[in-house]
Structure 1
Amino acid sequence: MAKVFNPKQTVLFPELFEDAFLPSITTLPDFDQALENFVRLSDFGALIDLNFHGIDKSYSLRLDEIQIPPKYLKTHTEKQSPVFNLFPAEVRNQINRMKYDVRSFFVHANHLKTNYGYFLFRNYFHKWDIHKKNKIEGLREYFTNEIGETAYEEYFRRLWHTGIDWIKSNLAEIHPYILTIDLDKQLPDERQSLRDSGMTINQLERNDRDLIVQFLILKMMHIPQTLTEYTDGISILSMFKTIHLDYLKNIKIESIEDIEQLFRSIPQNNL
């Protein structure tokens, strides 16, 4: 019989897992108490982990990652680039303000702030869902109406050329590499071709004339080339987090104060 053990779950038959570190719930009364507290905790609300997906776009380059043969590099090179951001500082500042506006929903009356996220009270679940939908629409409207397709494409072009220029600054005067590509006509097809092939940076041929262009395409694959693709990919994620039953066996959840004490008692990063 194969033994499958998940350390985040309570084991009902610990004698089968002598070599594993096990949670200390080994009796049915402990399990019943923990389960009862879990239900009561859920009646009060849920722990939410808030993340923004697809909004911040940037990349950086390492010279050794490109694997250019040394004979094609300058004697003195810059090993790692700065972080290259898709958007200029003023746009990033506005994005940060809008993120703050999303978080402004969480006030003292509707949640508990913990080291593990926001414990949102149950009667605010629907209001949070509406707030989140409104804010993501506000983000999309900002990019569509205030930035626009033309400016976005210019930001992408600038980001591409910044990467090419950094790589070029480290190349010897004589090298075999092509450093140009038509960003409007060729790049979309090249991106799709590399995506479909499943090509990775490690699989690129070091002496191929297209090495640098293909490398940069792969490095920037996570950055949409058009505003429509970008806005379709942004989202606000609020994931419900669970709590191990082992933390619930020796307490009694009857009030908000009990929940506060519970989260204070859990060692950080142990949830």
Structure 2
Amino acid sequence: MSPKRNPSQLSIFPEISGDLAAPSIATIPEFDKALGNLIKMSDLGAFIQINIQGIEKIYSLNLHELHTPPDFLQNNITPAPITVHLFPQDTRNEIKKLTYEVKAFFNRGNSFKTSFGYFLFRSHFPSWKTYLQERQDALNQYLSDTLSKGVYGQYFLDHFQQGYDYFKDAADETAPWVFRDKILLKDIQEIRNNLMETQTTLSLLKATDLDFPFHALVLKTAHIPMVLHQFQSQVHVHSVFKTIHLEYLSDNDINTIEDVRKLTEKL
């Protein structure tokens, strides 16, 4: 493999690239200034981006994508695709409120907003860490209080049933499918385990199988935990410290927070 060199870029390791004549970025004055500005900026604070993971649980159903034969469907017409949420709208709204409260920490006294997150002043790092953990604990407590004692399991069954009814309503009487009278969590778990052991995917399912709708839904919802504690283990409220490219720091002087603010307005 031969090294590729862009003449508009400076090499960090010219001795490795084989072009010893190429100047290293570490030897030019601009690099020293940019690195110095980066160090001073780090003393002032850091760019923070908030990530909230694991809250939104949905699946979509499209019988056309599942290669369902048209003659299995009423009037040979494929119904419009649907998207199904694990939680009802009111529960989703309450969870969103709790996640929005994370941003309530930021104000003019401890940060300023940028196009790619917040610049948090360094003196407020400890309080931000504490606040973030408090928000995580509050969210977990809400989930426990609201979704325990079988509530979460019922929500899972309800959203699974919506997809099952979608199949049932679309099916023509000529379809070979046999629909179950009652869906139980233990049956879903059993089929999940079987399909996982056999490494069965949606593309391997046969639409002519009697239990095709049930198996298709088990695979469609496989990414959604069936019990509350597993769902909670996927919910995380955390922040990511972002950096800034050195090229933006070579033509600026960073000494104060106001200097950082003016720099971000140019980006």
- Asked if Structure 1 and Structure 2 have the same fold, meaning a TM-score greater than 0.5 normalized by the shorter chain, the answer is yes
Structure 1 CA distance, aligned partners of 2:158 and 2:223?
16
Alignment-derived partner of residue 73 in structure 1: 73
Larger radius of gyration: 2
Deviation at 1:140, TM superposition (A): 1.2
Structure 1 CA distance, aligned partners of 2:219 and 2:225?
12
Deviations 1:149-185 (A, max 9, x none): 3111111111000011112222222212344374232
Structure 1 CA distance, aligned partners of 2:30 and 2:204?
53
Alignment-derived partner of residue 240 in structure 1: 241
Q: Report the TM-score when normalising by structure 2.
A: 0.85
State the one-letter code of the partner of 2:92: R
**Secondary structure of 1:63 counterpart:** coil
Deviation at 1:27, TM superposition (A): 6.1
| CA contact 2:44–2:122 (8 Å) conserved in 1 | yes
| CA contact 1:51–1:238 (8 Å) conserved in 2 | yes
Alignment-derived partner of residue 203 in structure 1: 204
Deviations 1:238-257 (A, max 9, x none): 11122211111111111111
Deviations 1:210-260 (A, max 9, x none): 332222122212221111111122110211122211111111111111111
Q: Which consecutive unaligned segments of at least 5 residues does structure 1 have?
A: 18-24, 267-271
Q: Which consecutive unaligned segments of at least 5 residues does structure 2 have?
A: 19-24
Structure 1 CA distance, aligned partners of 2:2 and 2:179?
54
Deviation at 1:198, TM superposition (A): 4.5
Going from structure 1 to structure 2, the CA distance change for 1:143 and 1:205 (only over 3 Å counts) comes to: same
Deviation at 1:203, TM superposition (A): 3.2
Alignment-derived partner of residue 116 in structure 1: 116
Q: Report the TM-score when normalising by structure 1.
A: 0.84
Alignment-derived partner of residue 191 in structure 1: 192
Structure 1 CA distance, aligned partners of 2:198 and 2:93?
37
**Secondary structure of 2:65 counterpart:** helix
State the one-letter code of the partner of 1:241: K
Deviations 1:24-60 (A, max 9, x none): x696212111111111121111111112111122222
| Percent identity over paired residues | 35
How many residue pairs get matched?
A: 256
Alignment-derived partner of residue 140 in structure 1: 140
**Secondary structure of 1:254 counterpart:** coil
Alignment-derived partner of residue 107 in structure 2: 107
Structure 2 CA distance, aligned partners of 1:80 and 1:30?
55
> Is residue 222 of structure 2 the alignment partner of residue 221 of structure 1?
yes
Deviation at 1:197, TM superposition (A): 4.8
Alignment-derived partner of residue 35 in structure 1: 35
**Aligned pairs (5 A) from 1:17-56:** 28-56=28-56
| CA contact 2:202–2:219 (8 Å) conserved in 1 | yes
